[in-house]
Structure 1
Amino acid sequence: MRVPRIYVDLPLEPDAVIELPSAQSRHLTQVLRLSHDTPLVLFNGNGYDYPAHLVRGARSGTAAIVDAPGAREPLPPLNIHLALGVSKGERMDYALQKSVELGVGRITPLFTERSQVHLSGPRLERRLEHWRGILIGACEQSGRRRLPHLATAATYPAWLNNHAGGGLMLDPQADRPLTALPPPDATITLLVGPEGGLSPRERAIARDRGFEGVRLGPRILRTETAPLAAIAVIQALWGDLGD
């Protein structure tokens, strides 16, 4: 049986007995139906996995004893920042989940001219919390020991005004393919629009701010496919998929 791997927003130290949060406790005992002394793995995003085992499992709560941590997750050779136009429901969830699996280090959701979803106030906070859950679940599944950073969602102009250093912008009409670029520095920003892509005006503004338009072959990719294809190419060329 696969050993469950659970994220906890708690300090983790060898030999410590920790009370697991209610959501994780319910998942372990009521969904996975784990019992006393069952092994599991805990992580809190500090770069380590902590083997552990349950010492109490019941509807009233679950505790675990933490063992010595494993090896520290190495820092990536390339830190990828994904600036992604907000798309509808499952499309956005899918893009976030798979980008985490592919090793993105930072994600900024953007409200652009063609975004069909615009949120503010409590609705935005709930959506951000939902997206954080998507990121955590992807880390649990993929074995990542460092959580990618989810930035607060911003409007496209506000983000671009505060962004320094340019980056790459996916544009199916661009002259250069992504594979023709020279290796980047240690950090790269990838800008991808929502359904329908960035508007011509937004693309022009991005170029004025130092972004280079690049294309991914002869086909038009959907908003949830394009960033994943680009990240996979970037990781294979210059990142850890080439290891």
Structure 2
Amino acid sequence: MRIPRCHEPQPMNPGDTLLLSDNNVQHLARTLRMRAGDQVMLFNGDGSECLATATEVDKRSLQVRIESQERPSRDSALQIHIGQTLSRGERMDYAVQKATELGMARMTPLFSERCEVKLKSERQDKRLRHWQQVAISACEQSLRCTVPQLDAPEPLEHWVSNVEADLKLVLHHHSACPLGDLPRPSSIALLIGPEGGLTEAEVQLAITAGFQPVALGPRVLRTETAPVVAQAILQSYWGDLSAG
């Protein structure tokens, strides 16, 4: 039987006895019906993961003992910071989920001229917590031991003017610049437009701020597909994805 893997946001070291968070009690004790003696893999986002054994289990609490701790090499050395223009509902969830699986280090949701999503402060906080949970679930599934940073949404013009990276890219289907001609970076800022695309003024603003326009092929990708394809290519060129 496959050992379940869960994010547990508290310090842990071999020999520690921990009471797990309510979310994990719900999943492990109530849904998976874990019993004393069963094992679970835990990670808290610091880059390590711990094998733990359940010692006491009931419907309201789950206590485990940390048996061992390792620091596996599953995080890409290529630091990718995505500026993802906001999209509606499941499209944004998909972008966060798949970008996390592909090794994204950080994402900043952006408001742009053609962005149709308007978030008031209370709803913005709720959506940010939701996206963070989407990223955590993607880490649990993909065996990542660190959780990417999800920033509060901000205007596109502010992000492009202030983000720092060795290489800054804006996806623009009119560009003919091939990625293979660019120097090898250790960090990348990647700007993704909304469903209606970036305006010419926004593309020029990004270029003025040091972004290089690049195209991924002859077809125009959806806003939630673009970060997936872009990261797969970038990780293949300069990161930890390969066909071999």
**TM-score, normalization: structure 1?**
0.95
User: Unaligned stretches of 5+ in structure 2?
Assistant: none
SS at match of 1:67: strand
Q: Once the two structures are aligned, what percentage of the paired residues are identical?
A: 39
CA offset digits 1:169-205 (Å, max 9, x no partner): 0011112133x33243211111101211211111110
Q: Distance in 1 between matches of 2:159 and 2:100?
A: 21
Are residues 43 and 164 of structure 1, via their aligned partners in 2, closer, same or farther at CA, if it must alter by over 3 Å?
A: closer
CA offset digits 1:117-145 (Å, max 9, x no partner): 12131110000000000000000000001
Q: Distance in 2 between matches of 1:71 and 1:89?
A: 35
Of 106-115 and 151-160, the range deviating more from structure 2: 151-160
Are residue 172 (structure 1) and residue 173 (structure 2) matched?
Answer: yes
CA offset digits 1:200-243 (Å, max 9, x no partner): 11111001111011001111111111111010000011100037
Is 2:163–2:189's contact at 8 Å kept on the other side of the alignment? no
Matched to 1:192, the amino acid is I
Q: Distance in 2 between matches of 1:72 and 1:230?
A: 25
| Paired residues for 1:84-103 under 5 Å | 84-103=84-103
Is 2:175–2:215's contact at 8 Å kept on the other side of the alignment? yes
Of 94-103 and 57-66, the range deviating more from structure 2: 57-66
Is 1:177–1:217's contact at 8 Å kept on the other side of the alignment? no
Partner of 2:29: 29
Is 1:48–1:73's contact at 8 Å kept on the other side of the alignment? no
Partner of 2:195: 195
Q: Distance in 2 between matches of 1:111 and 1:181?
A: 31
What value does the CA root-mean-square deviation take over the aligned residues? 1.5
Partner of 2:209: 209
Matched to 2:172, the amino acid is D
CA positional deviation for 1:146 = 1.2
Is 1:183–1:238's contact at 8 Å kept on the other side of the alignment? no
SS at match of 1:130: helix
Q: Distance in 2 between matches of 1:60 and 1:100?
A: 31
